[in-house]
Structure 1
Amino acid sequence: MRIPLLARANAGTLTVLIALSAVACLLVAGLPRATQASFDEALRRSLTTAPAVQTDLTVASEPRSPEQDLHERGQFASLYPQWRQIVPAALRPLLAPTGHMSAKTSRTPVAGTSGRTYINLGWLSDADQRVEWVRGRAPGPLSTTRHEGETIPLIEVGVVEEAVREMGLGIGQTKVLGESDYVAVKIVGLFKAKNPDDRYWSHHADVLHVSRQLPPGGLDFEYHVTTVMSDAGLTALSGESRHLTYRWVLPLDGRAASALAVPDVAAAVTELERLMPVQVVSPSPHRLDTGLPNLLGDFSAALASAQTVIFLALGGLLAVALGVIVLGVRLLTDRMEHPLGLARARGGSLRQVAGAGAALTALAVAPAALAGYALSFLVPGPVLPVVHAGPAVVVVTAVVFAAVRVSLAHRTPLHERRDDVAAARPSPRRVTLEVLVVGLALAGAYLLRERGLSQDPFLLLVPVALTLAAALITLRCYPYPLRLLVRLAGRGRSAVPFLGLTRAARARSASGLPVLILLPALAVSVFATVISSGIASTQVRASWQQVGAPIKVTSVGEIQASVIEKVRATDGVEQVVVAQTGRVQLADVPEWAAAIAVDMAQWQRLVAGTPISLPTLSGDTSALVSPELRGRGAFEIGWLGRPRLTPQGVIDAVPGFWSSGKFIVMSPSALPRLEVNTLLIKGDVPLAELARMVPASTVDSQERALAVIREDPLTGAVRSTLIVVTVALGLYALVAVVLSLVVGAADRTRAVSFLRTLGLSERQARRLTVLEVLPMVLVTSLVGLGLGLGLPAALGPGVDLSAYAGDLPVGDYSPDLLTPGALAAALIVAAALGAYAHTAIGRRRNLGAVLRVGDST
């Protein structure tokens, strides 16, 4: 066979096949890289934005005897290399070059304060690099002093500036610590962090800030602060007399993390916990403190949901792309049918004929696949196995289909067939297989709803099976209503409707291929559109749930009335609702709950027209309680007095404040006075201006919360992938419609030409072509549209998308029919225009060039 001659004769078809193959390979190889890059970025952002105390590997030891005490920096430093040495290989790329060490006491009371003031002793190995002394000097050597007739150690320390305001500490003060084994500290300097935003300080928040703690059953706060001392102070610390903890911190650099390595990293952390007691010689027992497994677990759960949605979309895209390429290969083999049949009749073997069809297909598909594969490397992201496998699947599918189809078409020389006379009956084997596919699809959908994807990853094939089942049912059932229309058309006076619908109902079995392409394309694209719309609407609702108002201002202290009036008078502010929040004690028992005192009627007016709704609260002493406080009857709370509240109802969440735990919503009139510390604001006003007006406050807005949710890399990966898949599938569907018209063009032209010899007009020819082509596209579009709208509701319970919607479950799949309807309408219009164009082109052909001798007699 002369392959170059065949290629030159079918240059147009080969060009279409080349374009389809190149684009398909670019998509199937490029999109996985892009999505995996988004996954990696999401993991890196999760690790770099989380507090370092959660991500870093911290080795902790609590000495209990003098033999276990470490009194010199060198003793700490000698152990640090041992911790790094036993870190498993999967964790080593994530370790930062340097770490730090610390020694701290906890709950060290100041003598004579009745346990209300605690000054803990702290040593940081890199304090000189982290703090800046603003007053006084850095701590110096250890000395002694007298207390109650005994000589005790005197340690020079520095404290954070905040301790001066909160605890009344100052330079020159000497405090005796302990209840029996005393030690004295002398404050010689005040410091502040050189970079208070450094993630390093999450390990030492007790050094940088004074903490207030309310003990169980108590009404007075305890004040805690941790000082900073020099290396000399280590000699006075002993675990025998103090609650002492040593720590070696191995920082993690999240910028080197990869989502593909998450399982290995999680296993490495577990292995490190096992190795520590047996691989390192240390004077005291030690443990590994890290929140990394929890972070990786949360990320893995969110990643699994993202992969589920993306794999469903990409799987549908690959299936449709392969179907369109197969349709293009079918067009090529149809165009080669005459020369190949002639070669077969002249003695060519079946192997030679099939080899020629496969070789010509490979000549077009292989270079195009290689070009698409090469272009995919322009997309940033790791190279996954699917990047290599996808283009190979495209080439193999196209070549194998060409070889098989040519082999079946030319089993015997000069094999004549006419499948347009009557519809072929499917074999019992084929009917059984189709029934089995439909049954498995329905059973899989039920299991997916009941068990979810986490129980069985093979359920990922369920959506594909559902679309295939719907396509098979459509393929088998759509001729029956057409036959009813044929009977009705047969009673009319015009022959065109009868002939057009008859040809549509008696379509060749191979014409089902466009159905198997169009229906998944429409279903998956509509499914992607509905899922994307559901995520977007839930994100908006989640942002309102997080903030509770267009703008929320929360202050650490009371907001004065003059400041509130100033806020009300600011340009752009439409409404301000004041509230007081805090923790309250329930009755006389050591039980605590969160509470908010707010005018619910004003709050309801402020959020009118938003996705959140608020219950009604009537009565000065009425309250709404959380489910945990249900059924208690009237109760007292300790909050600016002892108001007695009567539960009026149960509320599951308070938008902007709490969604779980114990909480109370009450009227401001139940309190003796309202100490406002929260403002709920409606209007358009710069957040920075509000932060300036209300000192020591945090300003949140619904728009900012929504932006944070949408900027998450995983969320962006899901939505961008769905958008790309929707557009690609829409284009593929249009290409499938055009190719289906071209594939049947020869038979259709021959039939129309034959009817023109019997007096068929050009206008009637156009109507006939439209009636032949349009029913298949119309029925398939409607079924695909319905399936795509139903898939989210059918599969929704098995796919958790809350990680991309502000942790709210995505259950509102209200269909937005604009995009799906436009896509279905575009396919129908394209089919109608293609039919008209086909008739116009066929009109210019000479009947003698179409009909053979004897066809018109």
Structure 2
Amino acid sequence: MKAAAPWVRTRLRTAPGPAVALLLLVLATSFLAAAFPRAVDAYEGRGLRHEVSAAVPWRSVIQLTSDARQEMDGEPDRRADALRPPRLTGNHRRILAALPESLRADTGQSAYGARTLDPVEATDEWLPELNGGRPVFTLSTQAEVAEHSTLTSGRLPRTTAGSVTPATPTVEAAVTSATARSLRIKAGSIVHVPRAEGAPLAVRVTGIVEPRRPQQSYWSVEPVLRTPTYLQTLEPDPQPYWHGALLLAPGAAPVLLSVAVDTEAYWRVAPDPAGMDIADLPRITQTIASLEHGPLQTALRTEVSPQLEISSGLDDVLIEFDGIRAAINPVVAVAAFGVGSVAGVVLLMTGGLTASRRRAELSLLRSRGASVRGIAGRLLAEVAVPVLPGAALGCALALVVVPEGRTLPALLASAAVALFACATLPLMAAFLHRRPALHGDRDDLVRARPSRRRTVAELTLLVLTVAAVTALRRRGTSDGDVDALISAAPVLVGFIAALLFVRLYPLPLRLAALPVARRRGAVGFLSLARAGRSSATAVLPLLALLVALTTAAFGGSVISGVDDARARASLVAVGADARIDADRALPDTLAGAVRKVAGVTDVAPVYREFGLDLRDARAEAVTLLAVDPDSYARLAGRTGLGAFRAAELRKSSGALPALASPAVAERLRGRTATIGPASGPIPVRVDMVRSSTPAVAAGDFLVVDAAGLPGRHPASTLLISGPSVARGDLEEAARAAGSATVKLRSAEEDNFTMSPVQSGAERIYVLAAAAGAGYAVLALVLSVLQTSAERTAMLARLRTMGLTRRQGRRLLILENLPQALLAAVGGALVGWVTILLLAPGIDLGRLALADQAASLGRVQLRTDPVSLLLPALGVVAIASAVAAAQAWMITRRTTTTELRVGDTR
């Protein structure tokens, strides 16, 4: 007896199109599912490396120090040996070897050597003196100066091995070109510094060097090594004096023990950001903790020095980054849940479409004795053939497109997609054929009555939705924990809305059918009747559309809230579209020159005086702002930063009217008070209180009319209005002011997006909205295809009764219109309600402003009309286009052919 044809091979040969379509759908879904966790890991990894690279070197390096005077106390020779190059170099290698792989060192920027703990005052009279006295110097024997600098004059200092002792009278040193220029040092100059005992130490400068990469760790952990700075004498009258550095040869380190200040050996380990990955973050944090207070510190003290002290600001950098990341992750999880839900609904619709299309075939098998389990098993084998390769290809494509990130989460996500896609058709078929059904039973929206089980399930979902929304409003997302229930809140709201709309859907159809039934034409009545006859399973496409529209609206509100927060923060930071600041008075002609710059619409000159004395014996700093009332009032009104009327600031008689911050108003208590100095005592009266003002980003302020102050007070700041003004034009106009700085609001706003964590999360939201829109379109197409055969047969019968092709096309388009309108109006409404419900619980501050979020307070979702209305209108347009295309294809077929096929469709 000949064996029966294999089921899977036969089905795939007879219907290859649906299998290929399913493979492509699973491939795309698997790709998105696998790419999401890797994309998150990728932008978090880039963010980690960016934060470590952007941190100032003295915060990011690991500093290890040992007090040379306590090293082997009582044995001077051994203390000197501890500072010599062989010992320091050996300890440097031990330190680098002790670091784990997760915290690799940048050996090129790491440094070690010996230095004086406090600067020592030079005794030479030829050195330039400031008001604070003679220059002071830090003496350092940092290794590898030759590898990190270029010799511009003379030669590098050198010593003979072991020749320098604490008693050596003269040593050689180099200085950087910046130090040489500022302190008038040349090759051959000799600088004398006092010793603890005996004659001063003579340091002969043998060479001038120019640092390479001066902003990196080697030169910038201790910036005085490359650039001299000012130090200030003690109160009450601080005066500046120079502080420079003398770079001794490493072999001269023992002589530092004789200088009149303490000496330490140091090792500065610069971390290598290129070797950091987000998965290593917990291990890096643990390593730093172990170095500062744990087993690694104990081990290094045993190998290097018992007095070894270890400190680093890298843990603070990592904590700040982790706080930004933890605050952003729950917001990103909302987008992931939204797209995942829409994709799941589309996969369900695919399985439902296939089960509905093959219902007669499977019913025949059941009537001939096939079990539900046997049918489900055959369907599972049939579906697995396209699903498993599609999932594997999608995962492989994600690994190639997103090369960075963990592999296991991507594999698990793709496996979950494959499992869900394989189980959809067998479970749907088993559910439909679990018991025999009479031929011709109607299952439409008008007659369908929800069962008790469905009612209980819907009520359970409603309770979960209320719990999710309540938890989100109370707990928020700022704690950094990704809670599945909270992240699914927008999706759950969409689910409840879809179920509610399906229950209410028949009512407007019945009301709309009443007036249409009295009209002579049959197309309108038939379209509404056909819309009411649609299957009760229409909840799936409606659910997909509502969740997609809700996700798009939520994503749009996130992006809109972020943009609004950045715009407000940049406005507060600059005070206008642009500003020019100087430490001294600006030229009187500058304001006029700036007004002539292209794009400038207004200029507000401001005189600023910091540390205003309110004469109330309190130390809180207050900034005095002397302004032109007209231009400053216009600026405050445009920006919304403490708007006021110009006439209220002009002096009529008596005390000078003032606008004050709340703290200053409370200190003056609404009375007339004499303050100063501003070229003399000023009697002022606080008439207006505002929490902000354009000229001051933060802190307390007092604003007065510049014309009311005694004496002349030229502006030190220009606040410029004009969104299209160019930096280059302003800088050219400001050159007359010398050291004036130009700041643009647009540039300040761009600074808020420098972190890859922020930009990566924003890209995730944009891609999530695009993916949701794609799945929504696919849901529309599937909902039309689900009833395509039945519509074809129905239209063929109506054509035999005299229905024209044009009327047939109108009928199919109008039949799809009610559900599309329901999805569009419902989606916009649900998106708006979702934003209102969830806005109090979602803080976008870290996503918008990173570590500067505290300066602006809480940043909430902001309703975006474009993201609410545009997708909704797109749903109606796409649904009409799909229906029109289907109608065009159906009406081109011959009626005889369609009727000959039979009535079973």
Question: TM-score, length-normalised on structure 2?
Answer: 0.82
Q: 2:41 corresponds to which letter in structure 1?
A: Q
**Counterpart of 2:512?**
485
Higher deviation after alignment, 69-78 or 160-169: 160-169
Deviation at 1:29, TM superposition (A): 2.2
**433, 437, 442: which is aligned to 1:410?**
433
Map 1:781-820 to 2 at 5 A: 781-806=824-849, 807=853, 808=856, 811=859, 813-820=861-868
Map 1:110-189 to 2 at 5 A: 119-123=136-140, 124-130=142-148, 188=205
CA distance in 2, matches of 1:98, 1:173: 30
CA distance in 1, matches of 2:661, 2:157: 50
Deviation at 1:235, TM superposition (A): 3.4
Q: 1:295 corresponds to which letter in structure 2?
A: V
1:401 aligns with 2:440: no
Map 1:26-105 to 2 at 5 A: 26-62=31-67, 65=70, 67=72, 71-92=83-104, 98-105=110-117
**Counterpart of 1:739?**
782
The number of residue pairs the alignment matches comes to: 847
CA distance in 1, matches of 2:221, 2:710: 39
1:336-388 Cα distance to aligned partner (Å, 9 max, x none): 23333333333444334223322332223222223322322331332443321
Q: CA 1:754–1:309 in structure 2 vs 1: closer, same or farther (change >3 Å)?
A: same
For residue 441 of structure 2, give the secondary structure of its aligned residue in structure 1.
coil
CA distance in 2, matches of 1:622, 1:438: 59
Q: CA 1:194–1:698 in structure 2 vs 1: closer, same or farther (change >3 Å)?
A: farther
CA distance in 2, matches of 1:102, 1:700: 41
Deviation at 1:108, TM superposition (A): 4.8
Q: CA 1:246–1:94 in structure 2 vs 1: closer, same or farther (change >3 Å)?
A: closer
Map 1:685-834 to 2 at 5 A: 686=728, 689=732, 694-753=737-796, 765-806=808-849, 807=853, 808=856, 811=859, 813-834=861-882
For residue 58 of structure 1, give the secondary structure of its aligned residue in structure 2.
strand
1:393-449 Cα distance to aligned partner (Å, 9 max, x none): 222212211111222333457863513476232222321221121122122212212
Does the CA-based 8 Å contact 1:584-1:638 persist in structure 2? no
Higher deviation after alignment, 189-198 or 3-12: 189-198
1:235 aligns with 2:254: yes
CA distance in 2, matches of 1:528, 1:342: 47
1:469 aligns with 2:496: yes
Q: 1:53 corresponds to which letter in structure 2?
A: W
Q: CA 1:66–1:832 in structure 2 vs 1: closer, same or farther (change >3 Å)?
A: closer
**Counterpart of 2:361?**
339
Does the CA-based 8 Å contact 1:636-1:645 persist in structure 2? yes
1:225 aligns with 2:264: no
1:127-149 Cα distance to aligned partner (Å, 9 max, x none): 4444566677766889xxxxxxx
Does the CA-based 8 Å contact 2:66-2:308 persist in structure 1? yes
Structure 2 unaligned runs (5+)? 1-5, 74-78, 124-128, 161-166
Higher deviation after alignment, 499-508 or 390-399: 499-508
Deviation at 1:250, TM superposition (A): 0.5
1:485-518 Cα distance to aligned partner (Å, 9 max, x none): 3455556666654554344345432221111211
Higher deviation after alignment, 713-722 or 736-745: 713-722
**316, 322, 326: which is aligned to 1:300?**
322
1:631 aligns with 2:643: no
1:318-353 Cα distance to aligned partner (Å, 9 max, x none): 221222232223222233233333333334443342
Does the CA-based 8 Å contact 2:799-2:895 persist in structure 1? no
Deviation at 1:794, TM superposition (A): 2.9
Deviation at 1:570, TM superposition (A): 6.4
Does the CA-based 8 Å contact 2:150-2:211 persist in structure 1? yes
Q: CA 1:851–1:96 in structure 2 vs 1: closer, same or farther (change >3 Å)?
A: farther
**335, 344, 349: which is aligned to 1:322?**
344
**Counterpart of 2:3?**
none
Give the RMSD, CA atoms, in angstroms: 4.2
**Counterpart of 1:377?**
399
**563, 579, 595: which is aligned to 1:552?**
579
Deviation at 1:85, TM superposition (A): 3.7
For residue 631 of structure 1, give the secondary structure of its aligned residue in structure 2.
helix
Q: 1:341 corresponds to which letter in structure 2?
A: S
1:423 aligns with 2:447: yes
CA distance in 2, matches of 1:837, 1:570: 56
1:659-683 Cα distance to aligned partner (Å, 9 max, x none): 3x45555555547554755444454
Q: Report the identity percentage.
A: 24
1:533 aligns with 2:560: yes
**Counterpart of 1:21?**
26
CA distance in 2, matches of 1:187, 1:562: 51
Q: CA 1:636–1:408 in structure 2 vs 1: closer, same or farther (change >3 Å)?
A: same
Q: CA 1:577–1:67 in structure 2 vs 1: closer, same or farther (change >3 Å)?
A: farther
Deviation at 1:740, TM superposition (A): 0.3
For residue 261 of structure 2, give the secondary structure of its aligned residue in structure 1.
coil
CA distance in 1, matches of 2:628, 2:844: 32
Q: CA 1:724–1:425 in structure 2 vs 1: closer, same or farther (change >3 Å)?
A: same
CA distance in 1, matches of 2:899, 2:221: 84
Question: TM-score, length-normalised on structure 1?
Answer: 0.86
Q: CA 1:600–1:45 in structure 2 vs 1: closer, same or farther (change >3 Å)?
A: farther
**501, 523, 530: which is aligned to 2:528?**
501
1:516-566 Cα distance to aligned partner (Å, 9 max, x none): 211111111222123223322333333333333333344455555577777
Q: CA 1:185–1:647 in structure 2 vs 1: closer, same or farther (change >3 Å)?
A: farther
For residue 449 of structure 2, give the secondary structure of its aligned residue in structure 1.
coil
CA distance in 1, matches of 2:583, 2:204: 28
1:640-699 Cα distance to aligned partner (Å, 9 max, x none): 76667655555545557533x455555555475547554444543516646765544543
CA distance in 2, matches of 1:114, 1:804: 48
Q: 1:121 corresponds to which letter in structure 2?
A: T
CA distance in 1, matches of 2:697, 2:196: 40
Q: 1:25 corresponds to which letter in structure 2?
A: S
Does the CA-based 8 Å contact 1:471-1:519 persist in structure 2? yes
Q: 1:404 corresponds to which letter in structure 2?
A: L
Q: CA 1:549–1:116 in structure 2 vs 1: closer, same or farther (change >3 Å)?
A: farther
Deviation at 1:468, TM superposition (A): 2.0
Higher deviation after alignment, 639-648 or 71-80: 639-648
**Counterpart of 1:197?**
215
**691, 694, 697: which is aligned to 1:658?**
697
Q: 1:278 corresponds to which letter in structure 2?
A: T
CA distance in 2, matches of 1:382, 1:732: 26
1:119-175 Cα distance to aligned partner (Å, 9 max, x none): 142303344444566677766889xxxxxxxx9977776666666887788885756
Higher deviation after alignment, 164-173 or 334-343: 164-173
Q: CA 1:13–1:128 in structure 2 vs 1: closer, same or farther (change >3 Å)?
A: closer
CA distance in 2, matches of 1:243, 1:582: 41
CA distance in 2, matches of 1:643, 1:166: 41
Q: CA 1:494–1:575 in structure 2 vs 1: closer, same or farther (change >3 Å)?
A: closer
Higher deviation after alignment, 19-28 or 544-553: 544-553
Structure 1 unaligned runs (5+)? 143-150
Higher deviation after alignment, 4-13 or 251-260: 4-13
For residue 228 of structure 1, give the secondary structure of its aligned residue in structure 2.
strand
1:238-264 Cα distance to aligned partner (Å, 9 max, x none): 599636554310011112221232222
1:594-647 Cα distance to aligned partner (Å, 9 max, x none): 636452543454687557666568258565555555522246456776667655
